[in-house]
Amino acid sequence: MSTEPVILEKSQRIATLTFNRPDVHNAMNVEMADCLDRALTDIEKDREVRALILTGAGERSFMSGADINEMLKRTPLTAVESSIYRQGLFDRLAGLPIPSIAALNGYTFGIGSELALACTFRIASAKAKLGQLEINIGIIPGAGGTQRLLRLIGKSRAAELILSGRVISADEALALGMVNKVVPPEELMDESLRWAADFAQKSPVAMKYALQAINQGAEVDLARGLKIESYCIGLCFSSQDAKEGVKAFLEKRKPSYNGE
């Protein structure tokens, strides 16, 4: 396997990002963050990619957190700068016009949990463990965890996990709504690929505007959210994909979408 800290692979319109520092449980350092930045730029520019899977190298960790040796060197200023940079990275991930799937194959702690929360979906191995553990070393989540977790599972549950810093099982994460599905470890990538392959068959235009309506609507009141939805469906109807979808339905055949 490559020695790059982030490996980007593409096949059949699906991109896979693998965090590749298994000797330190795929802990994120500056080099890994920069590689993720470049990989996201590649994916943003590639119109052929219609779904994204993120996972960790090895069998033990998705991402165990931030590199502790780098954290020891942070000052108040560099802590703020790092937080803003990594929040921006995860905002780009959350804002992709394609669905992203975090395949959680093991430890998903700290910034690893924050990264997973920025994905559209989370599928967990039954052996996965999750947690926002920052409080245990005297800090708080800084890459979006305090904000994305409460939006996903509610203020009280999010506060419980963030303030206790406890590790939870994949099954508890499923019960809380943090993950979409739990599967046996040996089925994790196959299940993630099944999800991605299904999304890759859909209209890229419809996928883009469905995600836009969901993501933007989650941050506003219902009335404004409904206006966003109307705007997005109007844009869908301006596409060739919409014409192809309706025509294929009437002709009782599978549609062929080109993303236009």
Positions marked catalytic:
114, 134
CA distances (Å), origin 232, targets 12, 218, 220, 237, 257: 27, 15, 15, 9, 18
Sort residue 46 into left (φ over 0), alpha (ψ -120 to 50) or beta. Answer: beta
CA distances (Å), origin 68, targets 34, 94, 138: 17, 25, 13
3-state helix, strand, coil in the chain (%, to 5): 50, 15, 30
CA distances (Å), origin 182, targets 21, 179, 235: 24, 8, 35
CA quadruple 142, 51, 10, 174: dihedral positive or negative? positive
Contact call for residues 43 and 52 (beta carbons, < 8 A): yes
